[in-house]
Chains A and B, each alone.
Chain A
Amino acid sequence: AAGVIQSPRHLIKEKRETATLKCYPIPRHDTVYWYQQGPGQDPQFLISFYEKMQSDKGSIPDRFSAQQFSDYHSELNMSSLELGDSALYFCASSLGGGNEQYFGPGTRLTVT
């Protein structure tokens, strides 16, 4: 069965650079969630989209933005990267907002 796809899987950036992470949800899933997981931490919810509209916002820094496109894939744009942004970024998708969330493999971002 198709799963959530995230790209790239690994990304290395320098401070103050920008990064774009992509998420392709499971086919027919209309809701996408972004999470940030620091080393040894539990995932922190960043933002979610339902039917291409932002549906909820968590602890997403102002330097980050995200959107969901007409094909339901989502992109997380991160600017002015800081060392503290180094983390695993997970995307999850679901069919409808209250249903089971399926997580992608994550993108490991390292900021040097």
Chain B
Amino acid sequence: KNQVEQSPQSLIILEGKNCTLQCNYTVSPFSNLRWYKQDTGRGPVSLTIMTFSENTKSNGRYTATLDADTKQSSLHITASQLSDSASYICVVSPGFQKLVFGTGTRLLVSP
């Protein structure tokens, strides 16, 4: 069964600190992996998208890594800001328009 699991489920960090979110997937076949940021009540916003051959991709203070062999990905947030407080969703696509959504990590950055 295609599944995407994320950890931790929730996380609280102090402003300015770094954090790393984890994503493990069993989706097959694999087309690409995306990280989305979703503010409460808003639509998910894409942060990064990686294909099989990409190991790392950065978008500002966000850096995503992908290990296709172990089927793991991580999202590293550097120098967190209060506006980083949101849910971060790992989404894996097996292709053909399908997206398998992860359970999400709810991040709270406190002052």
Q: Which residues of A contact B (CB under 8 A)?
A: 4, 31, 33, 42-45, 48, 50, 55-56, 88, 90, 92, 94, 97-98, 100-106, 108
Chain A residues contacting B101 (CB-CB under 8 Å) are: 42-44
**Which residue in chain A gives the minimum CB-CB distance to B4?**
A42
User: Is there an interface contact between B45 and A103, defined as CB atoms closer than 8 Å?
Assistant: yes
Query: B36: which A residues are within 8 A, CB to CB?
Result: 103
Interface of chain A: mostly helix, strand, loop or mixed? strand
- 28 contacts across the A-B interface (CB closer than 8 A): A4-B43, A31-B97, A42-B89, A42-B101, A42-B102, A42-B103, A43-B44, A45-B99, A50-B97, A56-B97, A56-B98, A88-B41, A92-B43, A97-B96, A97-B97, A98-B31, A98-B93, A98-B95, A98-B96, A100-B46, A100-B49, A101-B46, A102-B46, A103-B43, A103-B45, A104-B43, A105-B42, A106-B43
In angstroms, how far is the closest chain B Cβ from the Cβ of A101?
7
Closest to A44 in B: B101
Known contacts: A42-B89, A42-B102. The answer to whether A98 contacts B97 by CB under 8 A is yes
Chain A residues whose CB sits within 8 angstroms of the CB of B31 once the complex forms: 98
For A102, list chain B residues within 8 Å (CB). 46
Over the window 4-31 of chain B, the binary record of Cβ atoms lying under 8 Å from chain A Cβ atoms (1 yes, 0 no) is 0000000000000000000000000001
Are B41 and A103 interface neighbours, CB within 8 A? no
Evaluate contact between B97 and A55: CB separation under 8 angstroms.
yes
Instruction: Please provide the 3 A-B residue pairs with the shortest distance between their CB atoms, ordered closest to farther.
Output: A103-B43, A42-B101, A97-B97
A48–B93 Cα distance when bound, in Å, is 15
Interchain CA distance A44-B103 in the complex, whole Å: 11
Report the nearest A residue to B31, measured CB to CB: A98
Given contacts A42-B89, A55-B97, A98-B95, contact A106 B46 (CB under 8 A): no
**Contact residues in B for A55 (Cβ distance below 8 Å):** 97
Q: How far is the CA of A90 from the CA of B93 in the complex (A)?
A: 18
B41 pairs with A90, CB closer than 8 A: no
